[in-house]
Amino acid sequence: MQRSLVLKIIRPYDEKITWENLGYLLRGLSYNVCRMSNYCMTHHLLRSLNLETENLNPQGHLYCYPRLTEEYPDVPAGIICAAEGRARKLYMRNAAGVLRSEKALPSFRKDSSIPIPVAGYSIGRVDADNYVANVQLLSRQGAKAQNMPGRIQLVLASNWRDKNAGRALHQLAEGKLKRGIASIFRNKRDWYISIPYEAETAREKEEFDPELVMGVAFGMQCALAYAFNHSLKRGAIGGEEVLAHQEKYQARKKHIRAQYNWSGRKGHGRGSALKPLQSLYEKERNYRNLTNERYAKWVVEIARKNRCGKIQLDAGSTGQSEGGNILLARWPQSTLRLKIRNKAEAYGIAVQECPDRDIRNRCSRCGATQDAPEDKRWFTCKSCGYGIEDKKTGAQFISMDYNAARNLAKWEETPKGQTAGKSSV
Ligand SMILES: [Zn+2]
């Protein structure tokens, strides 16, 4: 939930800077921000009318930043950027009405607030009850010209009466809350800073059951399969998409290579002949990266929804003898594991990689290990008959991949010397 904290600026922390200096600087900034914002608004309108040709980026969108940094060299680049972004948003919100002549182009007044980008300020604590905002108010060039520090610490009033505000300020100073673009504004004779922040009530409420473990295995029929130790929930990501992609990729690679061989280029021509191949590799890297990102998100979302406190990951038995052919055999699996770990840990879900080589050969019900079965799709246990009935009725069939994921969910680390992965739940 987005909230904001509005605090009065009491004085500059550095005693060498007087209120006179600071007031002058802030008024000047406010005036400049107002002018540049109005410049952006006007040019957005011109752009909409197809009249603007000066401030366009290579994609043909309005981009006033270079022009503004030239015109306002003393203003920090971050503030220019934030002002441009704010003007763009305001224009977009009103564009339809303005272009239909239903309303006037909104404009900024000369005492408009100064937007401060997230990187342009920080909140800190200087002593027991003094908090400061450390704000970049001058560019490097401006600081030199005006003989002032670029970043100025502003002592903030603590709102003692408002307990929530006090706590939020404390958390902001400790860097525990996510801040947004702040703004500095004047009200009558006083200056204030407004700091938006993400109230993390949602995250605090999330409680995970450390006893509930989700096992995630690389599948033979699917890309990834999951199961839990204490519930029968299960699921999988199909691998058709990856297979289709890999087929296309191989074909394309072969095609480019064939072309290269045919052209028979050597020496100078070699580099340019290999360019298409390099760009193909690059694309493939991007594809894998994005896919991994999606997979990791999928896994962590399921863990969150089920409130499970731990994810046990297939440490990857890619060898053919061990796991049979898993679908994501030629795949950056370690990157995927890392992404899952990073995402999960951000929510407080533990992640463990299980070096269990028998997840596909062991029965997840009785724990008996058997030779790799001929059937790569369905799991049946020769000891306890797990899966046999299910295969017949077809209602709750036991796939190899589900069995593997369930083994991982039940996996427990055992001291060295013993066989890892005995499960008896
Ligand atoms: Zn069994």
What is the distance in A from the centroid of ligand 1 to the CA of 380? 8
What is the distance in A from the centroid of ligand 1 to the CA of 379? 10
Pairwise CA distance, residues 223 & 404, whole Å: 13
What does the pLDDT look like over 361-377, one tens digit per residue? 899 999 998 887 777 78
What is the distance in A from the centroid of ligand 1 to the CA of 15? 77
What is the distance in A from the centroid of ligand 1 to the CA of 373? 13
CATH code reported for the domain at 209-240+298-410: 3.30.420.140
What is the distance in A from the centroid of ligand 1 to the CA of 407? 12
Q: Is the pLDDT of residue 420 over 50?
A: no
The whole-number average pLDDT for the span 7-15 is 92
The per-residue pLDDT for 263 is 62
pLDDT confidence tier of residue 424, bands split at 50, 70 and 90: very low
What is the distance in A from the centroid of ligand 1 to the CA of 358? 13
What is the distance in A from the centroid of ligand 1 to the CA of 327? 25
The per-residue pLDDT for 415 is 56
Percent of residues, the chain, with pLDDT higher than 70: 88
The per-residue pLDDT for 320 is 46
The whole-number average pLDDT for the span 383-390 is 80
Q: Is the pLDDT of residue 168 over 90?
A: no
What does the pLDDT look like over 178-188, one tens digit per residue? 899 999 999 98
Q: Is the pLDDT of residue 323 over 50?
A: no
What is the distance in A from the centroid of ligand 1 to the CA of 382? 7
What does the pLDDT look like over 31-49, one tens digit per residue? 999 999 999 999 999 999 9
What is the distance in A from the centroid of ligand 1 to the CA of 326? 22
The per-residue pLDDT for 11 is 92
Q: Is the pLDDT of residue 273 over 90?
A: no
What is the distance in A from the centroid of ligand 1 to the CA of 419? 17
What is the distance in A from the centroid of ligand 1 to the CA of 369? 8
CATH 3.30.420.140 domain locations along the chain = 209-240+298-410
Percent of residues, the chain, with pLDDT higher than 90: 53
